């Protein structure tokens, strides 16, 4: 049975306004479905479903109804990427009608007090939940990072439930908020070399496909290679091809350090899997990385999840003084972009085809208006989603190969 505190009951009874009441009704309904015994306060929320392509008119109307009912966020509440760069949309080739609709979505969120951060990596702009704290985030790569790398706690919220958590300040206490539900239930022994960013992307694609909803404990990776950017890439890919919302990396992620008994238990239960080669990706239907004829590239895309300053600086340094033959987008958080462009030297001597973009990403953008056919990326998640889109060819290659594709305007198909 779900027990409510007096404040939660007041919200449910409408004493804090009609908008808050609707939000609390949804949180309570979810709590009952998942058999939670209580609601817990959350420190922040991150809300997906921001691109006009995804939320549409019905979503805008729901937000406007909440705002009319005086619903306002009570806690730190942020947005996932939207469908275009809110400043440079015209230069990048987006259409005005889409821009106007996207602005309506952003304004509707702002009216309920949600900050238009428009990023899937708030932890790179100073909003990194502390170990053990409870939040309600919804973008799958962000959820993976928060749970796994930071050791804070969140379920993979839907956009509406994260929004309701923002308005009430509470979420239902079930799933990954509970210590008992954060224990690994699969042991992964990696026996091949996993070193680079794209290696982590490939491993994530393979594991997500095999594990679905499981919580893996991963062994065998060299801590030297487990940089935060690589873990970000691993988690994003695993959450895309599966629904892995939490992974533990032996001796590296914070919760794995306190539980030496986990390995013994998993070994004795026989729930283990060995990864011998990253070439296993070629056995996943529709995802084979074939390497034949050269094709012209329409876009080289970096920044899924949104790029960190280290990633951006490395890419921009590699492209400095180069003639770039195709469009290059590096997606990142607006706040990070603004900080980086204060370094005037960073953007000097770059080809006009190179764009540091913000607020958006290629996966949530309306691609049909951009006339893109052949896209190259170093992101496992972007590769996975674009691969499923009609009339788009996408290739997953190393960061270096992406740079070469930008310079040559071509890639092996």
The only residue of 36, 167, 363, 386 in contact with ligand F3S, by rule CB under 6 A: 363
The only residue of 120, 167, 386, 411 in contact with ligand F3S, by rule CB under 6 A: 120
- The reply to whether 306 sits near ligand F3S by the rule CB under 6 A is yes
Q: What Rg value do the Cα atoms of the chain yield, rounded? A: 22
Strand, coil or helix: what is 117?
coil
Looking only at residues 243 through 282 of this chain, which bind ligand F3S when binding is defined by CB under 6 A? Answer: none
CA distances (Å), 393 to each of 173, 300, 307, 365, 387, in order? 42, 12, 23, 16, 7
Least Cβ distance, residue 236 to ligand F3S (angstroms): 5
Q: What is the helix (H) or strand (E) element at residue 68, kind and residue range?
A: helix 52-68
**Are 209 and 241 spatial neighbours (Cβ–Cβ below 8 Å)?**
yes
Least Cβ distance, residue 119 to ligand F3S (angstroms): 8
Taking the C-alpha atoms of residue 223 and residue 225, their distance in angstroms, rounded to an integer, is: 5
Nearest CA to 36 among 157, 235, 174?
174
List the structure tokens of 247: 């992974």
Looking only at residues 61 through 80 of this chain, which bind ligand F3S when binding is defined by CB under 6 A? Answer: 80
Total site size for ligand F3S, rule CB under 6 A:
15
Distance of CA 250 to the CA centre of its chain: 23
**Are 81 and 48 spatial neighbours (Cβ–Cβ below 8 Å)?**
no
The window from 4-12, 125-133, 153-161, 361-369 that contacts ligand F3S (CB under 6 A) reads 361-369
The window from 163-171, 211-219, 255-263, 298-306 that contacts ligand F3S (CB under 6 A) reads 298-306
The only residue of 31, 81, 129, 380 in contact with ligand F3S, by rule CB under 6 A: 81
Closer residue to ligand F3S in complex, CB, 182/306: 306
- The reply to whether 304 sits near ligand F3S by the rule CB under 6 A is yes
- The reply to whether 364 sits near ligand F3S by the rule CB under 6 A is yes
Least Cβ distance, residue 141 to ligand F3S (angstroms): 4
Distance of CA 169 to the CA centre of its chain: 22
Least Cβ distance, residue 381 to ligand F3S (angstroms): 5
**Are 292 and 319 spatial neighbours (Cβ–Cβ below 8 Å)?**
no
Beta-bridged to residue 374, according to DSSP, are: 393
The torsion of the CA quartet 84, 89, 91, 95, rounded to 10 degrees, works out to: 90
Looking only at residues 128 through 167 of this chain, which bind ligand F3S when binding is defined by CB under 6 A? Answer: 139, 141
How many CB atoms neighbour CB 166 within 10 A? 29
Strand, coil or helix: what is 219?
strand
List the structure tokens of 217: 């404990």
Least Cβ distance, residue 305 to ligand F3S (angstroms): 4
- The reply to whether 361 sits near ligand F3S by the rule CB under 6 A is yes
Least Cβ distance, residue 388 to ligand F3S (angstroms): 12
Least Cβ distance, residue 204 to ligand F3S (angstroms): 12
Least Cβ distance, residue 51 to ligand F3S (angstroms): 9
Helix locations, 93-151, DSSP H? 96-111, 140-144
Least Cβ distance, residue 232 to ligand F3S (angstroms): 9
Closer residue to ligand F3S in complex, CB, 217/367: 367
The window from 34-42, 172-180, 301-309, 349-357 that contacts ligand F3S (CB under 6 A) reads 301-309
- The reply to whether 236 sits near ligand F3S by the rule CB under 6 A is yes
Nearest CA to 117 among 358, 387, 402, 367?
358
Closer residue to ligand F3S in complex, CB, 186/385: 385
- Chain positions contacting ligand F3S, by CB under 6 A: 80-81, 120, 139, 141, 236, 304-306, 331, 361, 363-364, 381-382
């Amino acid at each position: 049975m779900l027990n409510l505190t007096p404040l939660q009951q007041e919200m449910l009874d409408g004493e804090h306004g009609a908008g808050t009441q609707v939000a609390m009704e949804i949180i309570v309904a979810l709590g009952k479905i998942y058999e939670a015994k209580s609601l817990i306060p959350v420190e922040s929320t991150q809300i997906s479903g921001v691109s006009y392509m995804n939320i549409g008119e019905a979503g805008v109307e729901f937000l406007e109804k909440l705002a009319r009912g005086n619903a306002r966020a009570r806690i730190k509440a942020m947005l996932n990427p939207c469908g275009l760069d809110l400043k440079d949309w015209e230069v990048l080739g987006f259409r005005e009608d889409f821009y106007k609709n996207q602005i309506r979505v952003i304004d509707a969120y702002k009216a309920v007090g949600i900050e238009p951060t428009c990023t899937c990596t708030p932890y790179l702009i100073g909003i990194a939940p502390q170990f053990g704290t409870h939040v309600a985030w919804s973008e799958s790569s962000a959820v993976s990072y928060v749970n796994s790398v930071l050791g804070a706690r969140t379920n993979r919220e839907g956009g509406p439930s994260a929004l309701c958590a923002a308005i009430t300040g509470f979420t239902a206490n079930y799933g990954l908020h509970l210590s008992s539900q954060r224990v690994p239930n699969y042991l992964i022994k990696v026996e091949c070399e996993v070193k680079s960013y794209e290696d982590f992307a490939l491993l994530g694609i393979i594991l997500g496909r095999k594990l679905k909803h499981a919580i893996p404990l991963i062994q065998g990776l060299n801590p030297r290679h487990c940089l935060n950017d690589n873990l970000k890439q691993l988690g994003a890919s695993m959450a895309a091809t599966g629904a892995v919302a939490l992974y533990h990396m032996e001796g590296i992620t914070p919760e794995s350090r306190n539980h030496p008994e986990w390995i013994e238990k998993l070994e004795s239960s026989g729930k283990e899997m060995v990864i011998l080669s990253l070439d296993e990706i070629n056995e996943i239907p529709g995802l084979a990385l074939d390497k034949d004829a050269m094709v012209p590239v329409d876009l080289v895309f970096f920044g899924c999840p949104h790029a960190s300053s280290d990633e951006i600086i490395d890419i921009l340094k590699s492209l400095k003084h180069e003639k770039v033959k195709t469009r290059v987008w590096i997606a990142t958080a607006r706040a990070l972009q603004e900080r980086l462009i204060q370094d005037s030297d960073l953007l000097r001597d770059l080809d006009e085809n190179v764009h540091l973009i913000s607020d958006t990403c290629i996966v949530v953008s309306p691609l049909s208006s951009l006339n893109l056919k052949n896209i190259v990326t170093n992101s496992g998640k972007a590769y996975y989603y674009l691969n499923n889109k009609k009339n788009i060819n996408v290739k997953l290659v190393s960061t270096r190969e992406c740079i070469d594709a930008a310079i040559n305007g071509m890639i092996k198909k």
